[in-house]
Amino acid sequence: MSEAALAGRALALPELAGVGTVAAYVSVGAEPGTRALLDALRARGVRVLLPALLPDHDLDWGRYTGEDSLTRVRHGGRMELLEPAGERLGPEAVTAAEAVLLPGLAVDPRGMRLGRGGGSYDRVLARLERADARPALVVLLYDPEILPRVPAEPHDRPVDAVVTPSGTRRFRRAPETEPGG
């Protein structure tokens, strides 16, 4: 499936319909491509935030305004990343997002996501939780990356949906606790 077709499948998600702000990422290496999706979101008038890796592996955020708003950054011996070139909005900027597209290596039927092990997105998810922000959490993966089980730590949080070339799979979030109950 092409990057454009995967973008089309993601754009059809109710979680991305009518949103004003999406926090996303620029794919690297063999990850499913995200550029067509970033451009399509922007064409819809969505404010797209992209991460910039900080020295402590936390993420700052900047606005994506098109291909020319990206700059290549090499972080030590790690891979080269495309990051927003403009103004930094701070790590808390992600809390304004109504949907967050997360990178991942795999996801399991519980919706648990396996990341690259740097902890950057664990910090993002913890920041969202502290802010009582509840954006839709979506991962783009290839079909073989849906595994029977991935390791999960107590701090890990499940995603809401995964988009793959063969379809979309949703996961149920734990029910919210009602006040007084």
Give tens-digit pLDDT for 8-37. 999 999 999 999 999 999 998 889 999 999
Predicted local confidence at residue 166, as pLDDT: 86
Domain that holds residue 65: 3-170
pTM of the model: 0.91
* 154 pLDDT tier (thresholds 50, 70, 90): confident
Instruction: Identify whether 141 is part of a domain.
Output: yes
Contact 139, 162 (CB under 8 A): yes
Instruction: Identify whether 112 is part of a domain.
Output: yes
Instruction: Identify whether 178 is part of a domain.
Output: no
* 173 pLDDT tier (thresholds 50, 70, 90): low
Instruction: Identify whether 163 is part of a domain.
Output: yes
CATH number at residue 144: 3.40.50.10420
Predicted local confidence at residue 52, as pLDDT: 96
pLDDT digits (tens, 9 = 90+) for 68-102: 999 998 877 667 889 999 999 999 999 999 999 99
- 90 burial class (0-12, 13-18, 19+ CB within 10 angstroms)? exposed
Taking the C-alpha atoms of residue 164 and residue 145, their distance in angstroms, rounded to an integer, is 9
Average pLDDT value over all residues in the chain = 90
Instruction: Identify whether 175 is part of a domain.
Output: no
Taking the C-alpha atoms of residue 111 and residue 124, their distance in angstroms, rounded to an integer, is 17
pLDDT for 177 beyond 60? no
Which residue in the block uniquely carries the two structure tokens 């029910």? 175
Rg over alpha carbons for the chain, rounded to the nearest Å, is 16
Count: domains in the chain: 1
Closest listed residue to residue 144, CA positions, set 165, 170, 171 = 165
Segment 160-171 shows an average pLDDT of 92
Contact 76, 113 (CB under 8 A): no
**By percentage, how much of the chain surpasses pLDDT 70?**
92
Instruction: Identify whether 179 is part of a domain.
Output: no
Instruction: Identify whether 83 is part of a domain.
Output: yes
